[in-house]
Amino acid sequence: MEQNTLDIVKTPVPFITLNDGNKMPQVGLGTFKADEGDDIVGLIKSAILEHGYRHIDTAKVYFNEEKIGQALQECILEGVKRDELFIATKLYHDKDKHNVEEACREQLKRLQLDYLDLYLVHWMSPYIDWDNQENYVQPTPAHKVWEQMEHLVEIGLVKSIGVCNCSCQMMLDILTYAKIRPAVNQIELHPYFSQRDYVDFIRNKFNIQVTAYAPLSAVNWTFKKPEYNELNLFKEQLIVDLAGKYSKSVAQIVLNWHAVHRKHLIIPKTAKKERLGENINIFDFKLEQTEYEEIDKLEKGARFYDPLYFSYGVWRNWPYFS
């Protein structure tokens, strides 16, 4: 890891070097449902200008790329250089897979950017068109999608490419034909669902980094198994006690576990400006090794973003796992 020199942040945010040589800030701002609170333009500007965020994560299906693009341009006008920013978005799981370059260019227009730092395939599986009675499974196979992703790197629209929600089996399949291997796999990770064996396998064997989405677990996520409804890291006594011991928030303890102990890239999301500083200032302390190991023991295999339990749209009864 290399240290970021941003003096606006109380403690430097490390960069992680990806397998293609590009450097990615270890902490970013997740923007899924980020417009539920403060205006997202103001939120992004506050994150970048006041708290030193340089990594912003979004997706077509978050329906906020245009507002993020506006915020980015306003930050650039105020002196932030484009090459200081790390912007990630995602190719959605629909007809965009048939023409990846066209989809990417449309997203770049919305973001008002000339290139993306990271472009991820949101779901690395065939596009299933539930409205097509003749052919549910659409004809662009995964290897053709990945070939198009590689083309984006070749023509300079994208610096790094990766995947989301990608199972071990699918990852191994990608590696059989990839000319450019995925740099990142963005998956659900938190102390209740650490996917430790899979994370260690793809990092140690293939130098593929992982980004943790829902790093604080999805407390308010509706579509999860009923037996997980009571799981709440913010009420977990171990975490609460550690927060008191180190004079940190519960969120900071959990995010420190991710970044310092497990070395994950993380994109905590918030719609509240007052949480921005808390979520990025997590590197000025370290727990005892035994305390990290106690957090490890909270593992329950609790996948909150579970396609089998999504009750709407294309996800209904779709048995796909990351």
Q: Provide the annotated active-site residues.
A: 62
**What are the φ/ψ torsions at residue 205 (nearest 5 degrees)?**
-90, -35
Contacts of 16 (CB under 8 A, 6+ apart): 1, 23, 24, 26, 209, 263, 265
In sign, the C-alpha dihedral spanning 143, 145, 149, 152 is: positive
Looking at residue 305, its amino acid is: Y
Cβ atoms 259, 266 nearer than 8 A: yes
CA atoms within a 13 Å half-sphere pointing along the CA-CB vector of 38? 17
Between strands 14-17 and 2-3, the pairing is antiparallel
Going 294 to 296 to 301 to 304, the CA torsion angle's sign is positive
CA distances from 108 to 44, 114, 129, 176, 190 (A): 17, 6, 25, 30, 31
Look up residue 101 and give its DSSP letter.
Answer: H
Structure tokens, 109:
């227009």
Distances (CA, A) of 48 to 74, 109, 118, 172, 287: 10, 21, 18, 36, 28
Is 122 flagged in the annotation as binding? yes
Question: Binding site: which residues?
Answer: 122
Question: Binding site for substrate: which residues?
Answer: 122
